[in-house]
Structure 1
Amino acid sequence: MPDRWRRPHTWDGTWAGKILDIIYGHYKKALDLLPLEDKTELAPRLLDAGVCFGFADPVTNIIANTLSFGEPAPDGSIKRRKRKRKPKTNASEEARSREEVLSRIVAGDGPSPPEARTVAERSLEGLVSFLTSYFRYLPNWDALRYLSLARADLLVAVSLIQKDHCYRYKDQFRICSPAVKTSLKCAAWSARQPNFDGFLAGCFALVPHINKITQTLSAEGRCRLTAHDISFLSQLLANPPKLKRSDKPMDLVAKRFHDPEPKIAASIEDVPGELTESLRGVLMDRVHEHYLKAVSRFPMKDLQTHHHRGLLKAGYCFGPFDPVSNIIINTVWYGTAFPPSEEFGVDMICTLRHVESRSANGLMAFVRSCSPVISERKAMVYLLKCNLDVCEAIQMAKQEGCDVSICDDNGYKAAAKAAYHPNPEAYCEFVVQSLPALRSTVRSLLRPSHMLAPIEILHLSTLLSFSSVESLEPIIHLTEDALNQITNYKQDFLTQQSFVRGKVEAAVRNYEQSKGCYYDLGVICGVNDRVGKVTGIFDTKFQYTHANFWASQDNGTSTLFFAEFSNDEDSNYEPICYPVCGLPTQVRCCYCEYQGIRIVHPIGSWWEGVNGFEKIACGEQYFTNTEIVGRWKLIDNRVGIFVQDYVYLDPAHDAKLIQAVNKAERVRNIDMDAEMRRRKSEPAAGH
C-alpha cells in the first residue's frame, strides 16, 4: 500500500490494521468499477453508506450498498438525487478524482472519534460486530484473526468459523434465521449506517440477484460499469423478489478464493491453535444439550425425589455408551452405590453447569490419555465431530495418523480425575470390571429417545447394585462455623426454590389457559435471576428471572419450556411461558450469557434481552461482548467447589469437601479477626 494510506495509531501493527489495508484494496477496486464522472452522486453515497459487509463479496457489497443508499421518500421508497452531468474529463483528471475519493476512505494520521471515522473503519467495526453477535463465545480478537484469513469477506469468515468450530448442518448459517437478522442489525448499528432500514432491505434484496450482479461486475474485459449498468443494478436492488430456499449465498463462498474448497480448508489450518476458548464454549453447549435430553428421559418424580443428587454429583457423560445413556447410568449407579445419609426432594436444579464443565474436562482427558500428541483443541474437535462419543473420537484420531491406545482403564482413570469424581476408584472399578458383563441388558433397557418408566429405573438400579455400599459413618465432622454456613446455603436454596416454583406455576397456568391444555410441572433445570436492570436499593436485585423447566401432558410426552417472570412478589408483570426445542444456536440472550448460565430461549418471542446484542452494538448496554466472553471463560473453566456442592454435602461421602469447607471458614474467621484488630488500631476520626 502507498505510504499515504495511513491508519489510526491505535490500530497500527494489529490484526485490525492489516485488515484495514485489505479493505482499502476492496475500495480501490470498487472505485475503479464505478462511473464516478457520469454518476457524480455515487461518490458521496459510497462515503456515507458503502460499507463492505453484506451477503456478497466485499467489492460487490460496497457497490450494492452504495446503490441502495438514498434519502427515504414518504412512501418508503428510496429517493435518489439527480445531479447535472459534468463535462467529460481526461484520464489523468479521472485518476486524480478517484484518488481524492480514496484518500477520504483511508484513515488519517491519528485515531478519530466514532462519528468521524471513515467508511472503511466503520466497515471493519461492522464486520467484527456481526461475527461476535452471531457466534457465541467469540472474542473480538479472534474475530479479527478470522477476518484477516478471510480477507475481510464476511461470509468467508463465517464459513471458516463454522468449520473450525465443527458446526453441524442443522446449526449452520441460514440467511433468514433470526440470528442472521439480529447480527446484521448489530453490524449496521456499529457501522453507524445513515439509512438503517434501507441498508437492511438492500442487503436482503441483493441475495436473489447475487449471481447476476456478480456476473455483471466481473464480466470479461470490463474495466468500468456504464451509466446503463448502474441503472440496471439499481432497478434489480429496488425490486427484489421474495427469497427462496434455493437462495444460498454461502454456496458462493468457496468461489471467492482462487482455488475453491481446498483453499478454505488450508486457511482453517492457519488459525492459531491457541484459539480454543470459543471452541470450548461450543463443546459445553453440546454437552448441555445431552444433559437436557438425559433429564427428559428420567421419570420426573424419581428425578426430583432421588436421582437429582446422583446427577449433579457424578452423572458424567463419559462411559462405554452414548453420552445420554452414560449420564443416566452414572447417575443411577452413584445413587445406588453411595446412597445419601438423608433423602431430600427438589423442584429446582439452578444450573447443570458444574457437572457439565467437569464432564467436558473428563471427555478431553480421556481422549488425550490415549495419545499424548493430541492437543486440548484437537481433542475438542474430535469430540464435537463424534457427538461426544469418546471411543469414536479416539478412532478418528487413529484414522488421522495419531498413535493411540484403545479405550481402557487408563482413559477412565484420567477422565474421573479430571472431572473431580467424588469416588474415582469405585467408578473405575464399576465401569471397567462390572459394567461390561451387563452391556447388552443395559443397552436394551436404554432405548434411544425412550422415556424411562419408574419400574425401568428400579430395574436399572437393581442391575447396578453389585457395588459395595460405603459405611455411612462420617470420617470428618463439620466445624460449628462450617455447619452454620452450610445451613445458610441450604436455606437460601430452599427460599429461592419456593419463589421460583410459584412463579413458574403461574407461568404454566397462563400458558394452559391460552392453549386449552394441562401440563404437570416437572423439574426446573436452569435459573438466571439476574435479567434486566438492577432494581434493589439495599440489596442487589434484578427485574426478571429466566428459567427452563420440563412439563408433561397426560400422554406422557415431556416438553422443555422457557419462562420469564418478575422478581418482585407483588409485581403486575404477567409471567410468560413458551415451549422451546433443543438448544437453538440461532437465539442469544446477553443477560444469560453474561451470567454464564445456559438457558434455552424461544425464537421470535418478546422477552427481556431479545434485543440485547443490538443494545450492545449501540452502546446502550452496561456490558460488552468482551466482558461477556471474559465472564463465561472464568465460569465454564471452573471445576472447583460450587454452591450446589454445599447443598448436596453428605457427611458420609464428602470428606474432602468437608475438609475444604472447614478450611474456608477457618480462613474467613482469621481474616475477619484481622480486620477487627485493624479497625480497633486505627486512630479515631479527628485525632
Structure 2
Amino acid sequence: MTETSEASPAAPVKDNDPSPEPETQKMQEEEEVNWRQPPPRSTFDLPPYYQDPDPEAPQYLDDMAEFYLEAARRLPIAQMPRLACYLSLGGLLLGLNDPVTNIIVNAIYLMGSSRASDALPAGVDPVRHAADRASYVDIARKSRAALVVFMTFYFRHLTQAQAKRYLRAARHDLALAIGLVEHHRYAGSFELSPGCSRTRTALRYAAKVPMLLDDPHDLVQLLASRFPCHLLDPVLDDLRRGGQLSVGRVNDILNLLRHPWSPPPPPLPAPTPGTFHDADGNVTIIANIGQDLFSTTTITRHRAATLNTNKNGGFVTTTTISRHPSRPDDNDELAVAAYLTTGSDTESRLRSFLSSTAALQLQPDTNSLKMCLLDTIHGLYIKALAMLPSDHQPHLLGAMLAAGHCYGVMEDPVSNIIVNSIWYNARFPDPQTANEEDGATRAESSSLHGLIAILRADRGVTEQEAVACLRDNRRNLSKLMMTMMSSLNHQSLAAAAEAAKHPQPAALVAFLTTLLTSEKRDRLRSLLTNKSALSNADFKELNTMIAGNDVAAVPVQIMAAIPDPGQSALNTMPGATVPGFGIPGASIFNTMPATAPVQTTVKSYVRTKVEELLLDYGRNYPLGPQYKLGVICGMASKSWYCLGTTCYHVNFLASTLVVVPNDDATTSPPPECKLFFAEFWTRADDGFEPSKKPPVCCPIQDYHAFPGRCFICECALVRNVHPPCGNYFLRQEYSTDSLCAIAERHAEIGE
C-alpha cells in the first residue's frame, strides 16, 4: 500500500515551510482528537448496541484510516466532488476483495443509488474532506460492526470476541479473516463463493447494520451478483493496478454495477433411467434412447386410460419421448459473467498472510474446534443409523445413544458405532440413557472424548494437539484410525472408555480386546466397509457374530451416572434455556419409530405432519423413488404465543419403497435410506409473513453440510442438518448479541 504521505496529493499545504503555523498545528491536534474520539452525532444512527463509545476503536481506526486515505487517493475527488461525500458516507469495508477495492466499489455504488440531496455541508472543501482522517470515523465504526456481524453469521460456534480477534489479525480484510478461521478449523484450502446461500445470508445481515440504503438487499445483490466479463475485466484490472481512476472509469464502474448479469433459466433436469414402482402397483420405466432423448413408459391400471394406449390384461401402457438438454457447464457460464472477486489475489494474499506474525500468534480456540468436531461426529451417527435396516433402527437407537461410541477396533468410526451398539443392545438390554432430549449430544461428546483419549495415549500429545490432529483428519477419520490400529491395546481402549464415561467400560474393553477375535473383525469389516445400507441378511449375520459372544463372565458395573454438565467441555446441556424460546426443542435422535406408541401430542403431530410432507414430496417427483418415514432424528421448534403459531425444524430418515417379486427378495439390494430436512408452521398468520411461507421438505446430500446459522435449532441445542439452498427460518429480530450468546454459552461450558 502507498504510504499515507503519498495518499493525499491534493491535500491543502500552505507552503513548504516544515514548521506549521500555530493555527495549523492547533487544527491538526483538533483533527487528531476528533479521529480518536468519534463525533457525538453521526450522519446515520447505529443500532443501540453500537451507539456507546467503542473502547476498541483505537485498535482498528488507525488501520482503517490508511485504507480510506488510499481509496481517496485513487478516486478523482477534484473532478467528482460528490465522491468525497459517499466515500465517508457509504465506503464500507464489507466485501470479498481487498479493503481498498471494497471501499471504492461500495462508495461508487452508493453514489448511484442515493438521493440527489446527499452532499457535503455548504462550505466544506471535498478534497480537504477526503484527505481528513476524521472524516472516516463514523463509516469505520459501521464497517467494523458490519464485519463482525458477517463473521458471526458465517461461522457457527464463533463468538463476537473471537470474530474481532480474527478481524484484527487480518487488519479487517474480510477475505483473509475468513481464510484464517477456515485454516484454524479445517486446516485446508477453502472456497469462498459470493453467490452461495451461506455468504448471501451473512451479507444480508451485515448490510443491515450500517443502514446506508433503504433496502439492504441492494447491497447483497451488488456483492453476490455476476457481471458481464467484457465489462468487468477492464474495471478489475484498473482497480487492482492501484493507480488513480479517471472520471470515465468511475462512470464505467457505476454503469457496470447498475447492470448485473442475469443467468439464463436452468434447463429441466433429465430424468433418472430405471424402473420405478408406486404403492398402487403402477410401473414407470425410463430409458435413455439417445443424446438428451428419454423414453418414459407408464404401465397403469385400466382406470388411468389415456390416448394412444394399449390395453392388455386390465393394464394400460403409455409411452412418451422427451428431450432434456444437458445443463451448460459452469465454465461456459463463467466465460460470460463473473463475480467482482473473480481473478482476485485472495489465495496469494492468504498464503502470505498465514505466514505473517499476526496470523501465527493467533491460536485457534480449542472449544470452538471441539464444537466443529462434534458437528462432524453428528454426521457419522446419522450415517451409521442410515446403514441399519429400517425395521431395526428404532430397536438399536437406545443402545446407540447410551454406548454406541465411534472408537474401537474397527478401522472407521461408523463401523465402530454399529458394532458397539449391537453389542451393547445384546449384552445390556433396556439401556439407561439420560433422556431423549440429550442422549445424542452425550453420545457424540463421549465419542469425541474417547478419540482424544486414544490419541493422547497413543502419541503422548496434549489435549490441544489431539484436537488439532482430529481437525486435520475430520473428513477422513478412517485413515487416522488405521494408523493407530497397530498400537491400539487394552490400556488405550480403557483410557478411551473412561474418558468417554462409558456405562460399562470393563465389559466394553473385554469385548473389544478378547472376545472380538481377528477372524471376526475381518468378517465384520467385509460386511460393513464401503456400504451405504445393510441388508436384512447382513444385519442378521452381524447380530449373530456380535451378540453371540459369550460375555457372561465379564464383570458388570453399576451404570455410570449421567455426566454433570459442569465436568466437561462437551457434556449434555438441557434444551432451550435461551430466553424468549417457547416449546423446548427435542434434541437429535428422538425415539419416534413408526411402530412406537404415541408418547406426546407434540410428537404425534410432528410425525403426522412429516408423513404428509414426505407424501407430497413423492407426488412432486413422481418419476423418482417413493419414501417411507423411519426415525425422526432431530426436532427443534420456536413458538410465538401471541400469534398462536409454531415453527418446526425436523431431520428424519426415510427409506425407499422398493417392490420386488418374492423370488428376488434375497438378492435384491437393500432399500436406500436418506436424511431429510423439513420446516413447517402450525398455522399461517396474515400479520406474520414468515408463517405464510410454504413448507419445506427435501433430502440432504451431505450429512456434514451446514450452510448458515439457524436460531431455532441452535437455541434448542439441536444439530439439525439444513439444506444448502438456505430454506430455513432466520429472522431479522435476532441481533448479533443474541447469536453470539449461544456460542459464548457453549464456550463457557467448555472452560
Q: TM-score range by the shorter chain?
A: 0.7 to 0.9
Match of 1:461 among 524, 540, 543: 543
Match of 1:329 among 419, 444, 458: 419
Aligned residue runs from structure 1 range 536-575, under 5 A:
543-555=646-658, 556-566=671-681
Which has the larger displacement, 292-301 or 359-368? 359-368
Specify the alignment match of 1:216 in structure 2.
238
Specify the alignment match of 2:96 in structure 1.
55
For the Cα contact (< 8 Å) 1:64–1:202, is it kept in 2? Answer: no
For the Cα contact (< 8 Å) 2:85–2:126, is it kept in 1? Answer: no
Specify the alignment match of 2:80 in structure 1.
39
Q: Compute the displacement of 1:198 (Å).
A: 3.4
Aligned residue runs from structure 1 range 641-652, under 5 A:
none
1:294 is paired with a residue whose SS is helix
Q: Alpha-carbon deviations, 1:121-148, whole Å to 9, x = none?
A: 1000110111111111110111111111
Aligned residue runs from structure 1 range 218-237, under 5 A:
218-219=240-241, 222=243, 224-237=244-257
1:252 is paired with a residue whose SS is coil
1:270 is paired with a residue whose SS is helix
Specify the alignment match of 1:578 in structure 2.
698
Q: Compute the displacement of 1:163 (Å).
A: 1.2
For the Cα contact (< 8 Å) 2:680–2:694, is it kept in 1? Answer: yes
The answer on 1:261 being equivalent to 2:346 is no
Question: Which AA in structure 1 matches 2:704?
Answer: L
1:324 is paired with a residue whose SS is helix
Specify the alignment match of 1:502 in structure 2.
608
Question: Which AA in structure 2 matches 1:591?
Answer: I
For the Cα contact (< 8 Å) 1:19–1:147, is it kept in 2? Answer: no
Q: Alpha-carbon deviations, 1:176-212, whole Å to 9, x = none?
A: 1111111111110022222524323332458767764
Specify the alignment match of 1:616 in structure 2.
734
Match of 1:238 among 241, 258, 274: 258
Q: Compute the displacement of 1:284 (Å).
A: 1.0
Higher helix proportion: 1
Aligned equivalents of 1:586 and 1:605: distance in 2? 7
1:318 is paired with a residue whose SS is coil
Q: Compute the displacement of 1:327 (Å).
A: 0.8
1:69 is paired with a residue whose SS is helix
Aligned equivalents of 2:218 and 2:605: distance in 1? 46
Which has the larger displacement, 265-274 or 133-142? 265-274
Alignment identity in percent? 27
Question: Which AA in structure 2 matches 1:454?
Answer: N
Question: Which AA in structure 2 matches 1:276?
Answer: T
Specify the alignment match of 1:676 in structure 2.
none
2:487 is paired with a residue whose SS is coil
Change (3 A) 1:68 1:254: closer
For the Cα contact (< 8 Å) 2:386–2:533, is it kept in 1? Answer: yes
Aligned equivalents of 1:560 and 1:69: distance in 2? 44
For the Cα contact (< 8 Å) 1:542–1:567, is it kept in 2? Answer: yes
Aligned equivalents of 1:285 and 1:69: distance in 2? 40
Change (3 A) 1:605 1:443: same
Match of 1:441 among 516, 523, 530: 523
Question: Which AA in structure 1 matches 2:679?
Answer: E
For the Cα contact (< 8 Å) 2:67–2:99, is it kept in 1? Answer: yes
Higher strand proportion: 2
Aligned equivalents of 2:211 and 2:454: distance in 1? 48
Aligned equivalents of 1:206 and 1:35: distance in 2? 26
Specify the alignment match of 2:398 in structure 1.
309
For the Cα contact (< 8 Å) 1:11–1:17, is it kept in 2? Answer: no
Q: Compute the displacement of 1:574 (Å).
A: 7.9
Aligned residue runs from structure 1 range 60-71, under 5 A:
60-70=101-111
For the Cα contact (< 8 Å) 1:520–1:551, is it kept in 2? Answer: yes
Q: Alpha-carbon deviations, 1:484-505, whole Å to 9, x = none?
A: xxxxx99995555434333322
For the Cα contact (< 8 Å) 2:92–2:140, is it kept in 1? Answer: yes
Match of 1:22 among 47, 58, 63: 63
The answer on 1:285 being equivalent to 2:375 is yes
Change (3 A) 1:341 1:291: closer
Structure 2 residue ranges without an equivalent (≥5): 5-28, 39-50, 264-332, 562-589, 592-596, 659-670, 685-690
Specify the alignment match of 2:715 in structure 1.
594
Q: Compute the displacement of 1:33 (Å).
A: 1.7
Specify the alignment match of 1:486 in structure 2.
none
Match of 2:448 among 360, 366, 370: 360
Change (3 A) 1:267 1:504: farther
Aligned residue runs from structure 1 range 337-416, under 5 A:
337-340=427-430, 352-376=440-464, 378-387=465-474, 392-393=479-480, 406-416=487-497
Q: Compute the displacement of 1:549 (Å).
A: 0.9
Q: Compute the displacement of 1:460 (Å).
A: 1.2
Q: Compute the displacement of 1:598 (Å).
A: 0.9
Which has the larger displacement, 626-635 or 319-328? 626-635
For the Cα contact (< 8 Å) 1:193–1:199, is it kept in 2? Answer: no
The answer on 1:190 being equivalent to 2:282 is no
For the Cα contact (< 8 Å) 1:155–1:250, is it kept in 2? Answer: no
Change (3 A) 1:525 1:630: same
Q: Alpha-carbon deviations, 1:254-308, whole Å to 9, x = none?
A: 4674xx624324468535446223222211111111111111000111121x211
Change (3 A) 1:557 1:18: same
For the Cα contact (< 8 Å) 1:70–1:81, is it kept in 2? Answer: no
Specify the alignment match of 2:360 in structure 1.
270
For the Cα contact (< 8 Å) 1:592–1:598, is it kept in 2? Answer: yes
TM-score (norm 2): 0.67
Specify the alignment match of 1:123 in structure 2.
143
Aligned equivalents of 2:683 and 2:84: distance in 1? 55
For the Cα contact (< 8 Å) 1:544–1:567, is it kept in 2? Answer: yes
Change (3 A) 1:245 1:428: farther
Match of 2:741 among 591, 615, 627: 627
Change (3 A) 1:591 1:434: same
Give the RMSD, CA atoms, in angstroms: 4.1
Question: Which AA in structure 2 matches 1:559?
Answer: K
Aligned equivalents of 1:161 and 1:475: distance in 2? 43
Aligned equivalents of 1:329 and 1:560: distance in 2? 21
For the Cα contact (< 8 Å) 2:389–2:533, is it kept in 1? Answer: yes
For the Cα contact (< 8 Å) 1:290–1:324, is it kept in 2? Answer: yes
Specify the alignment match of 2:502 in structure 1.
421
Aligned equivalents of 1:511 and 1:424: distance in 2? 44
Question: Which AA in structure 2 matches 1:30?
Answer: A
Q: Compute the displacement of 1:120 (Å).
A: 0.8
For the Cα contact (< 8 Å) 2:154–2:708, is it kept in 1? Answer: no
Which has the larger displacement, 25-34 or 427-436? 427-436
Change (3 A) 1:33 1:80: farther
Question: Which AA in structure 1 matches 2:705?
Answer: P
Q: Alpha-carbon deviations, 1:486-537, whole Å to 9, x = none?
A: xxx9999555543433332233233334444642211111111x3242459x
Specify the alignment match of 1:98 in structure 2.
130
Aligned equivalents of 1:458 and 1:395: distance in 2? 27
Q: Compute the displacement of 1:7 (Å).
A: 4.1
Aligned equivalents of 1:444 and 1:294: distance in 2? 16
Specify the alignment match of 1:297 in structure 2.
387
1:577 is paired with a residue whose SS is strand
Q: Alpha-carbon deviations, 1:69-99, whole Å to 9, x = none?
A: 1465xxxxx8878999x99x9xxx8864434
Q: Compute the displacement of 1:172 (Å).
A: 4.0
For the Cα contact (< 8 Å) 1:366–1:390, is it kept in 2? Answer: no
Which has the larger displacement, 491-500 or 189-198? 491-500
For the Cα contact (< 8 Å) 1:149–1:157, is it kept in 2? Answer: yes
For the Cα contact (< 8 Å) 2:652–2:675, is it kept in 1? Answer: yes
Aligned equivalents of 2:604 and 2:527: distance in 1? 35
Change (3 A) 1:227 1:375: same
Match of 1:531 among 638, 643, 647: 638
Aligned equivalents of 2:77 and 2:187: distance in 1? 43
Aligned equivalents of 2:363 and 2:486: distance in 1? 24
Question: Which AA in structure 2 matches 1:141?
Answer: A
TM-score (norm 1): 0.73
The answer on 1:511 being equivalent to 2:626 is no
Q: Compute the displacement of 1:216 (Å).
A: 1.5
**Aligned length in residues:** 574
Aligned equivalents of 1:602 and 1:200: distance in 2? 21
For the Cα contact (< 8 Å) 1:532–1:543, is it kept in 2? Answer: yes
Q: Alpha-carbon deviations, 1:142-166, whole Å to 9, x = none?
A: 1111111111111111111111110
Q: Compute the displacement of 1:355 (Å).
A: 0.7
